[in-house]
Every structure is written in structure tokens, then in C-alpha cells.
Amino acid sequence: MTTETGIGAAVKRREDFRFLTGRGTYTDDINRPHQAYGYILRSPYAAAQIAAIDTSKAKAAPGVIAVLTGADYDKGGLPCGWQIHSKDGSPMIEPAHPPLCKDQVRHVGDQVALVVAETYAEAKDAAELIEVDYKELPAIISTAKAGEPGAPQVWPEAKNNVCFDWHIGDKSATDAAFAKAHHVTKIDLVNQRLIPNAMEPRSAVGDYDRATGDYTLYTTSQNPHVIRLLMGAFVLQIPEHKLRVVAPDVGGGFGSKIFHYAEEALVTWASGKVGRPIKWTAERSEAFISDAQGRDHVSHAELALDKDGRFLGLRVNTIANMGAYLSTFAPCVPTYLHATLLAGVYTTPAIYAEVKAVFTHTVPVDAYRGAGRPEATYLLERLVAKAAREMQMDQVEIRRRNFIPKDAFPYQTPVALQYDSGDYEATLDLALEMSKWSDFENRRAEAAKRGKLRGIGISTYLEACGIAPSAVVGSLGARAGLYESGSIRVHPTGSVTVFTGTHSHGQGHETTFAQLVSDGLGIPLENVEVVHGDTNKIPFGMGTYGSRSLSVGGSALVKAMDKIIAKATKIAAHLMEAAAGDVEFKNGNFTVKGTDKSIPFGQVALTAYVPHNYPITELEPGLEETAFYDPLNFTYPGGTHICEVEIDPETGVTQVVNFTAVDDVGRVINPMIVEGQVHGGLAQGIGQALLERCVYDEDSGQLLTGSYMDYTMPRADDLPSFQVATHATMCTHNPIGAKGVGEVGAIGSPPAVINAVIDALAPLGVEDISMPATPLKVWQAIQSAPKKMTAA
Amino acid sequence: MPTVRMTVNGRAVSGDVEARTLLVHFLRNQLGLTGTHVGCDTSQCGACVVHLDGTSIKSCTLLAVQAEGAALTTIEGLAQGDELHPMQAAFREHHGLQCGYCTPGMVMSAIDLVKNNPDPSEQQIREGLEGNICRCTGYHNIVKAVKAGAQAMNGQAVRG
Amino acid sequence: MHNFNYHRPSNVADAVKALGGAGDGKIIAGGMTLVPTLKQRLAAPSDLVDLNGIADLSGIKSEGDGITIGAMTRHAEVAASSAVKSAIPALAELAELIGDRQVRNRGTIGGSLANNDPAADYPAAVLGLGATIRTNKREIAADDFFRGLFETALEEGEIITAVHFPKPEAAAYRKFAQPASRFALIGVLVAKTKGGIRVAVTGGGNGVFRAKEIESALSANFTPAAAKGVKLDPADFNGDLHGTPEYRAALVSTMAARAVEAC
């Protein structure tokens, strides 16, 4: 049912008024009475022994309340939430991860001391007076070289810096497929490290109440309940009923605010120690060396094809950089979120992938928008494009020929996943039409007259969202469940408060979930309020990541609504003196079937709280229900992205002139929000393809792209306007049919862009370019190309 | 400690600050105007943009003492009660914001952009917002919003 | 940042006095470079002397056959100035390319020149147009002012008061921005002046300089092809993440050619 405010309506966001008027409440906007400020002294070295720390001068500095080091810290380390087992059955190496380093620092930015003072400036001033005697050690930075013999060792227990050496798929079947191949395409790829850069820097306020013994942590988190669980149970040993975690308005996450960070534990712990609330807020340059980073894969892949271009087998070997420590979900990213996606949208019958995770003296790497799936998509779509060029096949035809047909669902891939639905031809056809694909050569010729190299690239991708079910992910190494909770509290006058365990940090849940519930209960949108982000208000939650909020969190709300309606139906039946089985609920009214007897939802709500005429022996008063929803499967969004670029051969500047994205995200609740999510993902995907990269000095381990002076954030004039559309096939196993939209843009787009760049440079004989295709890199490719530019 | 006096959103304010206090910290911590944000420390992201004597500036790159005697407008000073400024309204109408963090600076910059160029093209809007970084929207809807906001501001100016 | 004493003099003499009385005083003009530097604690002056209270230092006026711009004139004022646009449009265009709108609303020409960032735009204008820098003590020709990385001919207690630009016969500036910072990876100003062709390059690495090879090529034949034909020695250029010396050297010829085309 589409109404002006129901499912499918482009309702304007209810969160916008406060954000547009400066009345949002982000963590750094929160100030507690008698609050002190924390500053974290961080390692200037990538690898060093801490021989001694002298804090005496700092402790004597003006305004200083405490200076705490690893020697003072007597609590637990930061836990890792996912355990991978290597090929040989051994568990991954899981080194200690103390919030404050004791004897050794392992990346530039590692936490060495916490200074607490009356003002932030005083804390920072005092930190300069801490004398740390570092004995610098050789550092290993390179992903590719970390496992080489003789490389500096990050952890003594991780021989050759290997965290785990994992595999998936059928090796012998894949070898057999290659043995009968007509053609094999090989590719070496780097999926460069990125820095997420949510615009709000991380912040945390720890507040210990001596009177009650309660701790409160306000934090920039995508999943406050998970932080409470991890920090309470594993790090600080605070029981959950004495620990409240609040994630208020959060200024973007993109994965980087999923994880439990040292600073959260430190301000909470130190608040108890000094008896004052403590606020810590990262400066941007600090965020660059302390927020978990993303991607960082080095891969070799081979695709076996028959003479008609049908895929017979795929072999992938990936080295994934974990950084110096295991961040919360790091091990699952290159494994279950990457290698399991290597079938993509294709019927490749045999796949074998090996993933070796290595430690380096760099900031930990974890999920960043897409998390593993952009890496898989980039690998696959670059490989397919290269195979088509090598076999002189059309880029579209080779894909069509290998698509999983729309009548083949559910489709079991050779890498564990079972896709429930999709129609890859439909998204492809629409994208081809919208992008005017067939007319491209005319545009290329026209550009050539202007001295520009024009190219077009395509990516037909698939991803997996709403990671689940709990039992399956548990068997794969997850140390948590991956369900979601939702509660519906119907108030006596019929308005509703919705409590969701997901968290909105830009996604507009307050609007989308209100639409879902208003539609489901047949009540006006303005009668629904959505609450998220506070462990004292919401029963439980796993938070927002992996594009799961609607498909998992929304489904929990649907289940809660089902319970509400079931109970309300009984109350209505009682009021109308009918059998519950004869009462149906529609458009906000309970009606006795076949009669004109009807009462509205509001009257039932009031009766539930004023139970004068009430089936009190059968039903409790009140109308409030909670549901937990554990999905039966992942969801599988997919689609086609087409990018068109123009390159200025004199400067190497690549301009994206057209970008078309047609995505199947399943059921759309609010198309305006869905389009916005796609736009944002595309910007990050195009950013990865053309602009962004995290670079460390290979010798010193210093971050060379440590600010916006060197890390190229996409700005308005780097991007075009996008053409986006959706074409839905419904998810078959959740009650909404939603698949997820948060990550599709970032997953599908990078190979479309790079394939376009290569297409533009192909007339010069250029066959490869790595991300990001910066002006420098493109210019160099043109300079060293086998063929020279010819005058237009 | 120096005392600074200025007008913020039409209200005379003063406060004792260290000379090193940045204007943005004076606004946020001493005046409680937390709508102005800090997103970087190299004067690039624009989350801190406010208007100083009618032009947009980055309040993280100005000392509070330097704003002595100035008239400032922050994001909190735009709406008239519940009635949004046309640019704010356009951002809402066109979904020009997601997480909301860059939004105050983006809106303040957009208003200054339109003051200097009442009918900007898409390219002029994109170039004019060079000093504001948004990580959520891909700018697509921001550009639409600024275009619509410009038209609404012009309409208002004609009416006014 | 570290704390400091703050002074806001209302005339140049008082500014000089405040600087002289300070242990380690620094001038703040627009502050667009200085404030971020202080925030990163890369400098810790004992005193800051703010020139923003000195009204005399601001303003644009036509003078003789050129334009004189007060040291505290904001980039945005230069970019929007009808006097500048009509006399030296290239200068207004260059000012419009500095930083972003908010930086241009605050940053000043005097501050940019005194700082002499090797990737700043204004040094290219001053050197390329053969401007004269006026201080509280003397006049300094552009060719004598820039002394390499962040170094200038300014002496202790010397404050830029204005810059005089003679009107060229033609001039244009073309900038290739470093993708992240948007500073000049290479910026080239080409000017036809009474004294001949001048080509000033910023972003090369060691401060603004005149590309003599391109100047002589253009003196012989003022065409884009002539500029493009000059191959500069990469050894004279800096290399970093965003540009190798070879790339920078090639960009100089390309940007010079585009500037010639726009002249």
C-alpha cells in the first residue's frame, strides 16, 4: 500500500529540522557537570620498545588531574569479535590489544598515555611534558612483503606476521576446470587502503556516578549495545545493568564507528578512577591515525573460460592487511565478506580462494562501507573486463552469457552462499538504456575531436547484506549473534514509540521506520516516534552495519507489530463481542468480517490501558511488544553500474562525465532516502577509484596521507550528478522484502570507473591501471603507453 | 585573560578567553552554540563555517579575539522560529543532508555562495562548495538543494 | 596550540613596536596558514601581532599604469574588484583560484607573500607580473623578494604594506591543483610586460621561480606550441605523492601553453 506517508512514499526526513537548525546532539555537544577533558598521547613511531615513561612533569602541569599509562591500566584488552581458523584447523593468532600500550608500540598513533585535565588545552599542554624513552624498532608496512622471510615481526606469536591462512571452495574441482580451459585470464590487483573519514570525528564521554556505581558512556557508535557488551564484559568488567551506552546523533560511520575503540574504554575507566566525567574528542589528524582503516588487499586471480567465454573456474589468492592489532570484526572482512562473494552474478561452477591475513605496523584495518564485498567485486569485474578484452568479446555479452538466470533462484554458489532472488538482466538492460551505452562510440569520437580520451566501463555486481543467521555465522567464527531487536510501545492514546536496536547515523531511520510502522498499524506518521541509540531505552541491539537496518531491524519491527496486532485483535474481539478469528485488521481498523462492526486502533489502545471492559483473565493489560528477528539468510542486492570518463591526456585528469547505477535493493520504503544512500556510496566508490588512498612511508611507518592536505576527499567538483534507478526483486525470506542499500554504491562503482579509465586508454595500448587512478598515475600510463596519442 | 565582545545571531555576547581560543570553540563551549561543528584541523572541511560581518569564514581558523566587535551569524541564527531559512528548507526538501554533521557549514556556505551569485549553475555550485566536505550525500542532492535554495532566496528578495 | 600574548595595533608603527617588544613575535594577517600551523603546534610564538585592526593596509586602487593592493586586502576582494578585473584580469582570476571561498574571504595578499609557501598562487602573480612589494621600510622588486622555501627578503620588523602591479599587455594564470589540498601542484603565470615576457612558476617545490627557457621560447614565438615544446629538467622539481618531478616539469609546459592560449 502506497500512501502519502506509507511504504514507497518519498517522505521528507523528520530528523532534518534539528540538523538544519544546529540542534542535533552529537557526542562532542554533550557536556556533563564537572566534566574534565582527556587527551591521548600517541606513539610517534611505527614500532618501538617503551623503555621508560616519566610522567612527573606532566602531573605537575597546570590543570592536570591524572596522567595514566599502561602501568596504571589494570583491566582487560580490546576483544576481537570473530575467530577465523586457518586451513590446517588452527585458530587465528589473536594478540593482546591493550587500550594503553605497556612495553611496545606497534603503529604510529598507538595509545601511550591518557592525560586528564580541567581543559582540553591543558591536557594537551601537559602531554608534551611526558617523557617517553622509545627504542625504535624496524617496521613492516607493506601488505605484500609482510609475510616474506626476514620481515620485521609485529608479534612474536605470529610467525611471518601471519594471523591466519584460510581458504574456501573446492581446490581440486577448480584445478580440473582450469585444466580444460580454452583461455585463462590472470590479473594482479591492489585494493588500496582507505581511511573512512566520517565527518564527525570520534568522541567519547565517560561518566561514573559514585552515588549509584553506574557508568555511562556517550560515544560515536553505530552499535551502542555491542559496545556495552564488549566493553562491559571483556574490557572493564562492568556488569551490563551498571553500564549505559548512549550513541546520540552520530555524524556518519561507514563502518569506522562499529568497532570498540580504546578511547571508549579509557574515558569510562578513568572516569571511575578520578571521579569526574571525562570527554575525549579526536582531532582530525588524530582520527587519521586511530580510526580503523579499510580495504588493503593484494590479490592474484585467474579466470578459466571455455571457447565461448563461459566461466569455468576462478582462483583467487589474497593477502589482507589486518594492521597491528585485530579490530573488532577485522577477520571476517577478507574471508566471509569477501571470498564468499566471488561467484558474483555468475554461474562459475568452481571457485577456490585462499586468504592470508597479515599483521603490519599500521593502524588496524576493519570494515569500511562495503567491507570485503567491494574487494570481491573489484577483483571479479576487473577480471571479467580483462577476459573480454583478451578474448575480443563484447563487455556486455560476456556478462550476459555468464549471468545466473532469473529462474535459477534459489541459487547455490560454490562459495557457501545461497542467493534467494535477483534479475541481473533486468538491471543490466535498464542501465544500458539509461547510460545510452549503444551510442557510446559516437561520444568517444566527439571527445577525440576535443583532444580527450573517452571511455566507458561496466560492473555487474552482487553483494550480501544483513549478515546472518546467527547459528551459521557462529559456526563460521562470529562470537556474537546477528539478529536484531525491535519494540513497539503503543501509548494509551494510540500514539506509538518504536525502539530499534539499529542505529541511525545518516540513514534516516527515524523516518523510514516511522513509515514502516505507520503503514503497518494504519496510524498517522506523526503518531510514531522512533528511538535508537541508548542501551537504557532499547532492550537490545546489534546496531547498524552491513546494510542490515531495514532488512533485519525493520523485520524485527514487523514481528513486533505482528504481536501487537495479534493482541489488539483479541482486545478488539472482546470489545465487539466477536471471536478473535472473525476479526481482521486493516488500515488501522479492527472489523468483524462480513459486518460493519469496526473499531479503530486508538480505541483498542486505550482499552489496553484502561481495561474496564477487558478480557482480563486471558490477557494482560497494556500494549507493548518486543521481537527479536534472526534472518534465515543474507540478502543479496545487486545491479549494474556504468561509468563514462573523459581523460585529459596532457594532465592525466580523469573526469567522470556520466554515472549510471541501477540497483536491486529489494523493497523500497522511502525512495528519496534510498537514492541518497546510493549517491553517497557512489561518491565513496568513485573516491576509491580516482582519489583516495592511505599511504604510509614504507620505512618509517609514518602516515604520509595524514590530513586532508594529502588524503583526497571527494569534493563537490570532483563528482558528477548521478543517474540512479532501482529495479526490485524481493528478498524472499524477510517479511519486508528489503535487501539493503547502504553499501551498493561503494561496492558496484569502483570497477566500473577503472574499467572506463582502461577503456579510455585502451587505444594507446594501456591494459592496467591501479586505484586510485590519480592524474599522476594516468599521465604516467600515457607516457609509458606502447602507442602514442595521435592528433585528433 | 582577554575579554571578547561580539554580536552573535543578533545578541550581544562577551566572554573571557585565552588568546589561543578558536572562534569555533568560543561559540561551542562558551556560548553553547553547538550547531557549528569541527570536522578537521587543516581548514578544509568547512563544518565550522559561520558568517562574520556578512561573509562566510571558517571559524576554526580564526581566534575568538580576532572576532572582537564583529557581527556573527551561526546556523542557529538562520531560522525564524519554526520557519526555516529558504536554504535550510531547500536542503530538507531535496534531501541534501544525511548525518547532518557537515550540514550547518554547508548551509552557511551555500547562502554566501548565493549572495555572491544569485543564479549559480551546477558547475558554479560545485566549485563554490569547494571548501565544504560531505561524506554522506555524494553532493548530488546538495547541488539540487542549493539550486532550489537560490531560487527561493531570490524569490524572497523580490518579495522583501 | 600554545598560548601567546595577543596584540591588535591600529597602525603599522604600533605593530612594529609590539613586534619589537615581543620575545618571539609573529604577525598574523589572514591567518589562513598561521592558525593551522599553530594548531598543529609547529610554531609557538610568544606574541601574535594582528594586522586586522589597521585600516590603512586594506584596499585596492589604480595607481599610474597599474593597480596597488593593500597588504591586508582579502583574496575575495581582489577577485571581485572591477578595478583589478579591468586592469589585470589575470590577477582577479588567480585570486579566485586561491583556496576556497572561506579562505578567500579571510586570506590576504600580504600574508600570502610574507609566508611564501612554495605552492601558493600569489607569488606567481607577483613574480610573473613584475610587481613591487612595498613595506614599512622600502620597496622591493619581485625578482628580489622571493628567497626560496618560506624565505623572503623581509627583514626583522619589516611589514608588507602594499603590492603594486604594473599593468601587463596581456597575462594569464593557469593552475593545476593538487587534488587533496587544492594548493598549486603547478601554477604558471605568463605575462607580456613592457620589460618582456615573464613566466612565473609556483608549486615546483623550492619556491616560485621564473621559467627562463619558456620565457625565451615565448619571446621568439608567443604561441602555446612554443611553450609546450620546452622540456624542463625534472631535476629542478620536487616530487611527492601527488606529482613526480617529471610530472611537475611537464605540467609547467602544459600550463604555460594554456596560459599563452588565454592571453
Of the partner residues A125, A695, A775, the one whose CB lies closest to the CB of residue C179: A775
Q: Edge-to-edge, what's the strand order for the sheet holding A638-648? A: A453-462, A638-648, A653-664, A723-726
pLDDT given for residue B156 in this prediction: 78
- Where residue B12 sits, what CATH number does that domain have? 3.10.20.30
Taking CB atoms and an 8 Å limit, are B76 and A21 in contact across chains?
A: yes
B159: pLDDT strictly greater than 80: no
Q: How far, in whole angstroms, is CA B8 from its chain's centroid?
A: 13
Residue with cell 525493520: A554
> Residues A24-34: pLDDT tens digits?
999 999 999 99
- Name every chain B residue with its beta carbon within 8 A of the beta carbon of A24: 35, 100-101
Taking the C-alpha atoms of residue A350 and residue A481, their distance in angstroms, rounded to an integer, is 30
Identify which of A93, A226, A191, A68 has the alpha carbon closest to the alpha carbon of residue A147: A93
Domain boundary among B77, B95, B115: B77
Selected residues 135-154 of chain B with any CB under 8 Å from a CB in chain C: none
Q: Are residues B18 and B36 in the same domain?
A: yes
Is residue B108, in this structure, part of any structural domain at all? yes
Taking the C-alpha atoms of residue C155 and residue C132, their distance in angstroms, rounded to an integer, is 16
Is residue B159, in this structure, part of any structural domain at all? no
Q: Are A231 and A260 in contact (CB under 8 A)?
A: yes
Taking CB atoms and an 8 Å limit, are A651 and C181 in contact across chains?
A: no
Which residues, listed in sequence order, are joined to residue B71 by a DSSP beta bridge?
A: B7
Ramachandran angles phi, psi of A309, nearest 5°: 85, 15
Lowest mean pLDDT among A115-124, A303-312, A781-790, C245-254: A781-790
Which residues, listed in sequence order, are joined to residue C44 by a DSSP beta bridge?
A: none
> Residues A530-587: pLDDT tens digits?
999 999 999 999 999 999 999 999 999 999 999 999 999 999 999 999 999 999 999 9
Taking the C-alpha atoms of residue C51 and residue C44, their distance in angstroms, rounded to an integer, is 18
Residue with cell 613492516: A140
Q: Are residues B39 and B58 in the same domain?
A: yes
- Measured at the CA of C100, the angle between CA C99 and CA C104, to 5 degrees, comes to 80
- Name every chain C residue with its beta carbon within 8 A of the beta carbon of B22: 35, 39
Name the average pLDDT for chain B. 96
- Name every chain B residue with its beta carbon within 8 A of the beta carbon of C28: 63, 66
All partners of chain B with 3 or more CB pairs under 8 angstroms: A, C
Q: Are C219 and C211 in contact (CB under 8 A)?
A: no
pLDDT given for residue A792 in this prediction: 45
Q: Which residue of B has its CA nearest to C44?
A: B20
> Residues A160-171: pLDDT tens digits?
999 999 999 999
Q: Which residues of C touch A (CB under 8 A)?
A: 2-3, 40-41, 176, 179-181, 183, 241-244, 246-247, 250-251, 254
Q: Are residues B72 and B92 in the same domain?
A: no
Q: Are A453 and A470 in contact (CB under 8 A)?
A: no
For residue A685, the SS3 value is helix
Residues of chain A with pLDDT > 90: what percent?
A: 97
Residue B92: all three cell numbers together: 530538507
Taking CB atoms and an 8 Å limit, are C6 and B62 in contact across chains?
A: no
Selected residues 58-87 of chain A with any CB under 8 Å from a CB in chain B: none
**Residue A399: CB atoms within 10 Å:** 25
Of the partner residues C2, C38, C101, the one whose CB lies closest to the CB of residue B112: C101
pLDDT given for residue B160 in this prediction: 42
Ramachandran angles phi, psi of B38, nearest 5°: -120, 120
Pick A636 or A789 by higher pLDDT: A636
The per-residue b/e assignment along A590-612, b for 16 or more CB within 10 angstroms, e otherwise, is bbbeeeebebbbbbbbbbbeebe
Domain C5-49, second-level architecture: 2-Layer Sandwich (3.30)
pLDDT given for residue B157 in this prediction: 65
Mean per-residue pLDDT, A631-653: 97
Q: Are residues B112 and B141 in the same domain?
A: yes
- Name every chain B residue with its beta carbon within 8 A of the beta carbon of C100: 44, 46, 130-132
B158: pLDDT strictly greater than 60: no
Domains of chain A: 16-22+483-629 (3.30.365.10), 31-137+199-252+257-287 (3.90.1170.50), 294-467+633-783 (3.30.365.10)
Q: Where in chain C is the domain with CATH 3.30.43.10?
A: 5-49
pLDDT given for residue A468 in this prediction: 85
State in words which class domain C170-262 has. alpha beta
pLDDT given for residue A788 in this prediction: 87
Taking the C-alpha atoms of residue B78 and residue A673, their distance in angstroms, rounded to an integer, is 25
Selected residues 659-678 of chain A with any CB under 8 Å from a CB in chain B: 672-673, 675-676
pLDDT category of residue A2 using cuts at 50, 70 and 90: low
Q: Which residue of C has its CA nearest to A705?
A: C241
Residues contacting residue B88 through CB under 8 Å, at least 6 positions apart: A20, A21, B78, B79, B107
Strands (E), A463-522: 484-490, 496-500
Q: Are residues B106 and B59 in the same domain?
A: no
Of the partner residues A31, A199, A745, the one whose CB lies closest to the CB of residue B47: A199
Of the partner residues C41, C179, C254, the one whose CB lies closest to the CB of residue A691: C179
Q: Which residue of C has its CA nearest to A286?
A: C40
Residue with cell 603594486: C164
Is residue B158, in this structure, part of any structural domain at all? no
Taking the C-alpha atoms of residue C172 and residue C94, their distance in angstroms, rounded to an integer, is 8
pLDDT category of residue C128 using cuts at 50, 70 and 90: very high
B129: pLDDT strictly greater than 70: yes
The per-residue b/e assignment along C185-201, b for 16 or more CB within 10 angstroms, e otherwise, is bbbbbbbbbeeebbbbb
A391: pLDDT strictly greater than 90: yes
State the SS3 of chain B.
CCEEEEEECCEEEEEECCCCCEHHHHHHHHCCCCCCCCCCCCCCCCCCEEEECCEEEEHHHCEHHHHCCCEEECHHHCCECCECCHHHHHHHHCCCCCCCCCHHHHHHHHHHHHHHCCCCCHHHHHHHCCCCCCCCCCCHHHHHHHHHHHHHHHHHHHHC
DSSP A58: H
Is residue B160, in this structure, part of any structural domain at all? no
A395-402 vs A424-434: helix crossing angle, rounded to 10: 160
Q: Are A270 and A66 in contact (CB under 8 A)?
A: yes
**Residue B40: CB atoms within 10 Å:** 26
- Name every chain C residue with its beta carbon within 8 A of the beta carbon of A651: 176, 251, 254
Q: Are A540 and A554 in contact (CB under 8 A)?
A: no
Give the mutation candidate from C97, C247, C254, C258 for the A interface (greatest A CB count, under 10 A).
Answer: C247
Q: Are residues B20 and B52 in the same domain?
A: yes
Q: Are residues B64 and B105 in the same domain?
A: no
Residue with cell 555562495: B113
Q: How far is C247 from chain A (nearest CA, A)?
A: 7
Q: Are residues B113 and B146 in the same domain?
A: yes
Identify which of B15, B19, B31, B26 has the alpha carbon closest to the alpha carbon of residue B65: B19
Residue with cell 549473534: A481
Q: Are A304 and A177 in contact (CB under 8 A)?
A: yes
The verdict on B88 touching A (C-beta cutoff 8 Å) is yes
**Amino acid (one-letter) located at A616:** I
Mean per-residue pLDDT, A4-15: 95
Q: Are B35 and B104 in contact (CB under 8 A)?
A: yes
Q: Are A96 and A328 in contact (CB under 8 A)?
A: no
Alpha helices in A360-439 (DSSP H): 373-390, 395-402, 424-434
User: Using CA of residue A471, residue A474, residue A475, residue A476, what is the dihedral sign?
Assistant: positive
State in words which class domain C57-166 has. alpha beta
Taking the C-alpha atoms of residue A511 and residue A249, their distance in angstroms, rounded to an integer, is 14
Q: Are residues B8 and B72 in the same domain?
A: yes
Taking CB atoms and an 8 Å limit, are B98 and A16 in contact across chains?
A: no
Q: Edge-to-edge, what's the strand order for the sheet holding A64-69? A: A64-69, A111-117, A36-42, A278-281, A203-209, A214-219, A243-246
Taking the C-alpha atoms of residue A68 and residue A101, their distance in angstroms, rounded to an integer, is 11
**Residue A564: CB atoms within 10 Å:** 27
Taking the C-alpha atoms of residue A751 and residue A747, their distance in angstroms, rounded to an integer, is 9
Domain boundary among B77, B108, B142: B77
Q: Are residues B115 and B60 in the same domain?
A: no
> Residues A63-106: pLDDT tens digits?
999 999 999 999 999 999 999 999 999 999 999 999 999 999 99
> Residues A107-147: pLDDT tens digits?
999 999 999 999 999 999 999 999 999 999 999 999 999 99
Residue with cell 585494493: A191
Is residue B58, in this structure, part of any structural domain at all? yes
Taking the C-alpha atoms of residue A103 and residue C49, their distance in angstroms, rounded to an integer, is 45
Q: Are residues B61 and B120 in the same domain?
A: no
Taking CB atoms and an 8 Å limit, are C250 and A779 in contact across chains?
A: yes
Residue C46: all three cell numbers together: 610568544
The verdict on C207 touching B (C-beta cutoff 8 Å) is no
Name the average pLDDT for chain A. 97
- Where residue B138 sits, what CATH number does that domain have? 1.10.150.120
Strands A723-726 and A653-664: parallel
Q: Edge-to-edge, what's the strand order for the sheet holding C47-50? A: C5-7, C47-50, C25-28
Is residue B116, in this structure, part of any structural domain at all? yes
Number of domains in chain B: 2
Taking the C-alpha atoms of residue A378 and residue A566, their distance in angstroms, rounded to an integer, is 47
B155: pLDDT strictly greater than 90: no
A300: pLDDT strictly greater than 80: yes
The verdict on A522 touching B (C-beta cutoff 8 Å) is no
Identify which of A487, A517, A485 has the alpha carbon closest to the alpha carbon of residue A622: A487
DSSP A342: T
pLDDT given for residue A18 in this prediction: 97
pLDDT category of residue A330 using cuts at 50, 70 and 90: very high
**Amino acid (one-letter) located at A657:** V
Strands A311-323 and A131-136: unpaired
Which residues, listed in sequence order, are joined to residue A357 by a DSSP beta bridge?
A: A164, A320
**Residue A56: CB atoms within 10 Å:** 10
For residue A232, the SS3 value is helix
Of the partner residues B36, B38, B40, the one whose CB lies closest to the CB of residue A708: B40
A1: pLDDT strictly greater than 60: no
The verdict on B125 touching A (C-beta cutoff 8 Å) is yes
Structural domain harbouring B56:
3-77
> Residues A422-448: pLDDT tens digits?
999 999 999 999 999 999 999 999 999
Q: Are residues B62 and B117 in the same domain?
A: no
Is residue B60, in this structure, part of any structural domain at all? yes
> Residues A158-217: pLDDT tens digits?
999 999 999 999 999 999 999 999 999 999 999 999 999 999 999 999 999 999 999 999
DSSP output for chain C: ----EEE--SSHHHHHHHHHHSSSEEEESS-TTHHHHHHTTS---SEEEEGGG-GGG--EEEETTEEEEETT-BHHHHHH-HHHHHH-HHHHHHHHTSS-HHHHTT-BHHHHHHHT-TT-SHHHHHHHTT-EEEESS-EEEHHHHB-STT-BSPPTT--EEEEEEEPPSEEEEEEEE-TTT-SEEEEEEEEEETTEEEEEEESSSSS-EE-HHHHHHHHH--SHHHHHT----GGGS--BTTB-HHHHHHHHHHHHHHHHHH-
